């Protein structure tokens, strides 16, 4: 069974809460016997990366988004509309991307946003979404 919840708070306090959740075990019975299963904490997090527009393909290949379930396409579309983002362009598989540790995690691309932080050669500070 899965339980979804939202949380916000001071980073070190929320990190400790999650760490302590991961230390909880529950009895589990199956045909193979009885076990103690660790509480499986799977964060769902939303990130925004800032980078030069010309590096989009390198960033996309570095993230190497996962192939995901069709239901996540619907969620991506809703978030894209809510955040006023553009659809992720086709990824250039010939771009090698940057080497990076890739944890056992699913990365779901949502969309892009072009802010104009430089206009007429002057720094304008950018816009917040």
pLDDT at 36: 95
- What is the per-residue pLDDT for 129? 53
Q: Note the pLDDT of residue 34.
A: 95
* pTM: predicted TM-score of the whole model, two decimal places: 0.69
Q: How far is the CA of 103 from the CAs of 65, 100, 106, in angstroms?
A: 12, 9, 9
- In the chain, what are the helix, strand and coil shares in percent, each to the nearest 5? 30, 15, 55
Mean pLDDT by 10 residues, the chain (129 residues): 76 91 93 93 86 91 77 84 92 91 80 75 59
pLDDT value of residue 56: 94
Q: How would you label 109-122 residue by residue, b for 16+ Cβ within 10 Å and e otherwise?
A: bbbbeeeeeeeeee
């Amino acid at each position: 069974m899965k339980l979804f919840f939202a949380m916000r708070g001071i980073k070190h306090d929320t990190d400790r809460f999650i760490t302590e959740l991961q230390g909880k075990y529950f009895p589990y019975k199956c045909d193979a016997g009885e076990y103690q299963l660790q509480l499986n904490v799977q964060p769902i997090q939303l990130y925004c990366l800032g980078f030069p527009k010309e590096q989009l393909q390198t960033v996309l290949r570095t993230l190497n988004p996962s192939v995901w379930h069709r239901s996540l396409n619907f969620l991506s579309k809703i978030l894209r509309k809510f955040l006023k983002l553009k659809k992720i362009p086709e990824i250039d598989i010939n771009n090698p991307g940057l080497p990076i540790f890739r944890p056992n995690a699913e990365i779901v691309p949502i969309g892009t946003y072009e802010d104009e932080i430089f206009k007429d050669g002057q720094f304008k500070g950018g816009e917040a979404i």
